[in-house]
Amino acid sequence: MAKYRGIKGKAVLGGVVVGTPLVQGAVAQSATSATIDGAGFNGVVRPGDTFTVAGDAQVYTVQTGGVVGDPTPNQVAVTFTPGVVPGGGWADNSAVTFASNSVAQVKDWQATVSRPVLEVTTMGDEARSITLDTPDWKGRIMALLDYGDAKQQAFIDAVNTNDDPTALAVALVAADGKLFWGDLLPLNARIRAQRGALFEVEFDFQGEGALTPNWN
């Protein structure tokens, strides 16, 4: 059976993909949707992810993404802004490069999915009987502090303002192509300093909606 070393994991704010993504079919100038596929292409593409296409310097931002491979293996349909910039559009099989969404300097992450127990034992029963209520998940990410990292900054800024919070897309990765993804609301950012140690920051979070396995 497989075992996964912690050092191979990562925590990501947004989507995460592996493989060699390519544009499927020619895409015309100004188009705002495309299908991306490629050998070994897997993972999830989330709104807010950014990517570039070979031969086009424009950075595009994903509006709607999805699970790579659902329903067609190694393939995902995306919408994005702005529309395709080059006059000739994108050629079939142009290479696509997704920007990394990794939180820098992560040493530890943890996620717990749970369902409250509802007891259904009634008089006359010989042993306790139970069922489960709605799913919930929460967790923690610990990293070496770097507020200059955009993803750590997003976590810290989200708990350091009084704005109505927007859930952050997250992927917790055990190994390449093996991850759990969902949305979360950060609850706190605990920054620690101690003589003789590096600065650390720890983020507790509450899941918003489902936590979904993606195991390829």
Partner 1 sequence: MAKYRGVKGSVTIGGNSVANVSAWDLTVSRPYIEGTSMGDAAKTGDLDYPGGRGNITARLDYADLAQKALIDMLVSNDDPTPLAFVGTVSSTGPKQVSCNILPTSASIGARVGNHVEVSFPFETDGAVTVSWI
How many chain residues are in contact with partner 1, going by CB under 8 A?
A: 42
Backbone angles phi, psi at 151, to 5 degrees: -80, -40
Q: Which is nearer to partner 1, 60 or 178 (CB)?
A: 178
| Per-residue mark of binding to partner 1, 1-30 (x: CB under 8 A) | xxxxxxx-x---------------------
Encoded one letter per residue, x for contact with partner 1 by CB under 8 A and - for no contact, window 77-96 reads: --------------------
Q: Which is nearer to partner 1, 175 or 185 (CB)?
A: 175
Which residues contact residue 164 at a Cβ distance below 8 angstroms, ignoring those fewer than 6 apart?
none
Q: How far is the CB of 143 from partner 1 (least distance, A)?
A: 11
**Shortest separation between residue 63's beta carbon and partner 1, angstroms:** 26
Q: How far is CA 50 from the centre of its chain?
A: 13
List all residues 6 or more positions away from 194 whose beta carbon is below 8 Å from its beta carbon. none
> In whole angstroms, what is the distance from residue 156 CA to residue 104 CA?
13
Q: Are strands 10-13 and 168-175 parallel, antiparallel or unpaired?
A: antiparallel
Residue 113 CB, nearest approach to partner 1 (Å):
4
Neighbours of 140 (CB within 10 A): 17
Residue located via tokens 């190694």: 74
Q: Which two tokens stand for residue 125?
A: 């029963």
**Per-residue contact track with partner 1, 97 to 136, x per CB under 8 A?**
----------xxxxxxxxxxx---x---xxxxxxxx-xx-
Judged by beta carbon, residue 20 or residue 131, the one nearer partner 1 is 131
**Binding to partner 1 by residue 209, rule CB under 8 A?**
no
Indicate the helix (H) or strand (E) that contains 153: helix 150-159
Closest separation in Å from C-beta 182 to partner 1: 9
Q: At 8, is the secondary structure helix, strand, or coil?
A: helix
Q: x/- contact string, 179-198, with partner 1 (CB under 8 A)?
A: -x------------------
Q: Decide the pairing of beta strands 168-175 and 106-114.
A: unpaired
* Binding footprint of partner 1 on the chain (CB under 8 A): 1-7, 9, 107-117, 121, 125-132, 134-135, 137, 172-175, 178, 180, 210-213, 215
